Amino acid sequence: MSRSSICFTLATLTLFFLSLAVADVVVLTEDSFEKEVGQDRGALVEFYAPWCGHCKKLAPEYEKLGASFKKSKSVLIGKVDCDEHKGVCSKYGVSGYPTIQWFPKGSLEPKKYEGARTAIALIEYVNLEGGTNVKIAAVPSSVVVLNSDNFDDIVLDDKKDVLVEFYAPWCGHCKSLAPTYESVAAAFKNEEDVVIANLDADNHKDLAEKYGVSGYPTLKFFPKNNKGGEDYEVGRDLDSFVSFINEKCGTSRDGKGQLTSNAGLIAELESLVKEFVSAGNDEKKALYAKIEEEVGKLTGSSARYGKIYVKAAKSCLSKGGDYAKNEIQRLERILAKSISPSKADEFTLKKNILSAFAA
């Protein structure tokens, strides 16, 4: 199998395991709708469009609803992307977004939900219609909540790169940004030196004024080397946030939080590794010493990655030329399994660096 085919397979498997991890709200499609809805449990279904502002505003509340009914066997909380599955939405008379409908147990005749679009109101409605007694569940957040007591300790820490959203609870644009901002925080939660945070600026006006905040949401980036703060003026979609943080913080993550194929690679070592790979045994030993020397000059995360280079070179010396290729194949088999995010990071870094030795 080619390397591109292996990468595609791994990406597919990764998406599969990620889909299992976020199954609190069931994603319904043309093929699965009537297999899930109208069966042996009631179902509340949101018909939405990805571009819809009201849908984005509803998203965090609907996620809380899904989390609350996660363990329920008598109620399904689902959603349909009407841009992707127009046939389903048309069949059930959906003409605006979001439309929320209740499907009783064993029925495909829906009742339109007309209540408030908050998690509490939705839970009360589902409990009434479904005969359940579920309480609202707290949805874990990866966004660090700032206040006057912890702001300086977190934001002004010169060992951290910190992105801060100054928001107001009543602000519509802030509510629309919330699900995307949560996704950004989740994507970088395993980066020890990166913090995605927010501050209720309406409740902490002194801090907002100190940093020149006059509108909401205002996003400011506080890198390790500039704790005066820099305005974030790029796009407010997930890809823009991810690209910005990768560029500014030297990280290599995608929107799902997975390390990219460039993660861990150190440009300063690449020419030495190329020489090492093509050299004879005696020359390899001298080049190994040079790699060790260069790694000793590195600092921060580069120093950690450098140690992987040294270990890889040492293993290639002792185990032969096929070591890197064989070890990459072993790591790919492990990565195809369901493993913890920290282990996935560890093995991906090693695989990326070994790829330079297998080239």
CATH of the domain at 211: 3.40.30.10
| pLDDT tens figures, 24-75 | 899 999 999 999 999 999 999 999 998 998 998 898 889 889 999 999 999 9
* Predicted pLDDT of residue 59: 86
pLDDT of amino acid 7:
41
**293 inside domain:** yes
Q: Do 22 and 71 fall into the same domain? A: yes
Whether 299 and 189 share a structural domain: no
Closest CA to 296 of 313, 310, 316: 310
Q: 276-295 pLDDT, tens per residue?
A: 999 988 899 999 999 999 99
Active site residue 82: no
The CATH number that applies at residue 298 is: 1.20.1150.12
**Is 148 within the bounds of a domain?**
yes
Q: What is the pLDDT of residues 230-261, one digit of tens each?
A: 999 999 999 999 999 999 999 999 988 999 99
Cα dihedral 12, 17, 21, 23, rounded to 10, equals: 60
**One domain for residues 118 and 148:** no
Are residue 183 and residue 300 in the same domain, yes or no?
no
- Mean pLDDT of all residues belonging to the chain: 90
Residues 7 and 101 reside in one and the same domain: yes
Burial class (CB in 10 A: 0-12, 13-18, 19+), 157: middle
Residue 286 and residue 174 share a domain: no
Query: What would the two tokens of residue 164 be?
Result: 């801060």
Question: Which range marks the domain in which residue 294 is found?
Answer: 267-358
- Name, in order, each residue with C-beta under 8 angstroms of 177's C-beta and a sequence gap of 6 or more: 165, 167, 217, 236
On whether the CB atoms of residues 96 and 58 are closer than 8 A, the answer is no
Last residue of a domain, one of 130, 158, 193: 130
Structure tokens given for 250: 């030297």
How many domains does the chain contain in total?
3
> Do 287 and 233 fall into the same domain?
no
Annotated catalytic residue within 7, 82, 89, 171 = 171
Q: Is 57 exposed, middle or buried, given 0-12, 13-18 or 19+ CB atoms closer than 10 A?
A: buried
The active-site residue, picked from 55, 82, 89, 316, is 55
In a domain, 257, yes or no: no
Which residue, 91, 107, 130, sits at the end of a domain?
A: 130
Q: 117 and 194 share a domain?
A: no
Would the pLDDT of 16 be above 60? no
Q: Among candidates 98, 99, 70, 86, which has minimal Cα distance to 33?
A: 86
249 is catalytic: no
Would residue 262 count as lying in a domain? no
Lowest mean per-residue pLDDT among 97-106, 148-157, 176-185: 176-185
User: What per-residue confidence (pLDDT) applies to 89?
Assistant: 96
Q: What is the pLDDT of residue 23?
A: 54
First-to-last alpha carbon distance for the chain, in angstroms, is 16
Do 19 and 120 lie in a common domain?
yes
Average pLDDT score over residue span 102-110: 97
Q: What is the pLDDT of residue 294?
A: 94
pLDDT at 172: 92
pLDDT above 80 (res 6): no
pLDDT digits (tens, 9 = 90+) for 340-359: 888 999 999 999 999 999 97
Q: Active-site residue among 89, 174, 249, 316?
A: 174
Answer yes or no: is 329 within a domain: yes
Domain contains 135: no
Please give the share of the chain, as a percent, with pLDDT higher than 70: 93
Q: Are residues 187 and 105 in the same domain?
A: no
Contact 15, 67 (CB under 8 A): no
Q: For every residue of the chain, which 3-state class applies, written as one string?
A: CCHHHHHHHHHHHHHHHHHHHCCCCEEECCCCHHHHCCCCCEEEEEEECCCCHHHHHHHHHHHHHHHHCCCCCCEEEEEEECCCCHHHHHHCCCCCCCEEEEECCCCCCCEECCCCCCHHHHHHHHHHHHCCCCCCCCCCCCCEEECCCCHHHHHCCCCCEEEEEEECCCCHHHHHHHHHHHHHHHHCCCCCCEEEEEEECCCCHHHHHHCCCCCCCEEEEECCCCCCCEECCCCCCHHHHHHHHHHHHCCCECCCCCECCCCCCCHHHHHHHHHHHHCCHHHHHHHHHHHHHHHCCCCHHHHHHHHHHHHHHHHHHHHCCCHHHHHHHHHHHHHCCCCCHHHHHHHHHHHHHHHHHHC
Query: Hey, how many other C-beta atoms are within 10 angstroms of the C-beta on 246?
Result: 19
Q: Has residue 66 been placed in a domain?
A: yes
Instruction: Inform me whether the pLDDT recorded for 9 exceeds 60.
Output: no
Whether 7 is catalytic is no
Question: What dihedral do alpha carbons 231, 178, 21, 189 form, nearest 10°?
Answer: 30
For residues 274 and 337, state if they share a domain: yes
Domain boundary among the residues 130, 163, 196 is at 130
Is there a single domain that holds both residue 94 and residue 23?
yes
4 pLDDT above the threshold of 80: no
Q: Residue 277 domain-assigned?
A: yes
